[in-house]
């Protein structure tokens, strides 16, 4: 029997406005429990400053476990507009190249979906957009592994939907992406952005897809205290333990803008 896999799913750590006690608590838990991987679904920094990325590099490198990262809307240059439009992910890519490890975990396939763009046709530019190119890239990788039985886990920054299909959705083309991923055999979507944990499952044409969101380890709290998700996967069974770190308000599962 394959042993259970433990993932520490964290998001919105926001170096620059980080909650130092929460960061220390997470690092302590990772050192003590040694999860099979740490997955951070974006907003690693607050303003994408070089010193914020440097602090993030040191923090992630200290865990000594495989690391996976996604880029968030806060991880593109905020003050240097030339760089934001020409090479928006250059600073993030430098961090990822330094700390990310391939996730070779038996029974699980991880497939990224980029939901972050440098500009969009609305303001503010914080919420998600799933472009045709980003979705096609992810669907192609799902198609390449369609014949195996692994649990297929999508990682992205923005929640694909805020509620049932057809309802209000701050992520542009999120409904379309959710439906396409469900039909393509995805099982889970891990994301962040809203600074509150959530766990929602919806069906499209008989295909169910579960969305799991992590809270924040920053001082930018919403309805929930700082925290992260400890996800245990055993075969196709997935359990989520929302771990809170420090004082704060009661946990809510409502999706709010981040």
Q: What is the DSSP string of 119-133?
A: --SSSS--S-B--HH
Mean pLDDT of the chain: 93
Tell me, what's the pLDDT at 258? Answer: 47
- pLDDT category, 2, cuts 50, 70, 90? confident
Q: Provide the 10 A C-beta neighbour count for residue 249.
A: 11
Burial class (CB in 10 A: 0-12, 13-18, 19+), 188: buried
Fold of the domain spanning 5-244:
Purple Acid Phosphatase; chain A, domain 2 (3.60.21)
Q: Are 89 and 71 in contact (CB under 8 A)?
A: yes
pTM to 2 decimals? 0.93
Cβ(42)–Cβ(193) under 8 Å? yes
- 220-258 tens-digit pLDDT: 998 999 999 999 999 999 999 999 996 543 333 333 334
Q: Where are the domains of the chain?
A: 5-244
- All residues at 6 or more sequence positions from 121 whose CB lies less than 8 Å from its CB, including other chains: none
Mean pLDDT within 199-219? 95
């Amino acid at each position: 029997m394959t042993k259970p896999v433990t993932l520490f799913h964290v998001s919105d750590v926001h170096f620059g406005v980080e909650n130092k006690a929460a960061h220390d608590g997470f690092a302590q838990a990772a050192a003590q429990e040694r999860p099979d991987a740490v997955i951070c679904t974006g907003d690693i920094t607050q303003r994408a400053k070089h010193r914020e990325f440097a602090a993030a590099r040191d923090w992630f490198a200290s865990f000594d476990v495989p690391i996976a990262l996604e880029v968030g809307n806060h991880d593109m240059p905020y003050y240097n507009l030339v760089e934001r439009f020409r090479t928006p992910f250059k600073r993030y890519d430098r961090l990822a190249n330094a700390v990310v490890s391939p996730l070779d975990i038996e029974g699980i396939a991880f497939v990224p979906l980029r939901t972050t763009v440098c500009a969009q046709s609305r303001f503010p530019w914080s919420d998600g957009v799933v472009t045709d190119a980003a979705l096609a890239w992810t669907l192609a990788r799902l198609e390449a592994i369609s014949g195996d039985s692994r649990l297929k886990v999508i990682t992205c920054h923005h929640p694909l939907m805020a509620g049932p299909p057809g309802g209000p959705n701050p992520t542009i083309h999120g409904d379309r992406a959710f439906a396409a991923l469900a039909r393509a055999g995805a099982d889970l979507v891990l994301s962040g952005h809203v600074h509150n944990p959530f766990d929602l499952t919806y069906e499209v044409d008989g295909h169910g897809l579960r969305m799991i969101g992590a809270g924040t380890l920053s001082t930018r709290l919403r309805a929930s205290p700082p925290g992260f998700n400890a996800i245990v996967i055993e075969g196709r069974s997935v359990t989520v333990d929302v771990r809170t770190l420090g004082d704060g308000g009661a946990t809510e599962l409502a999706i709010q803008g981040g």
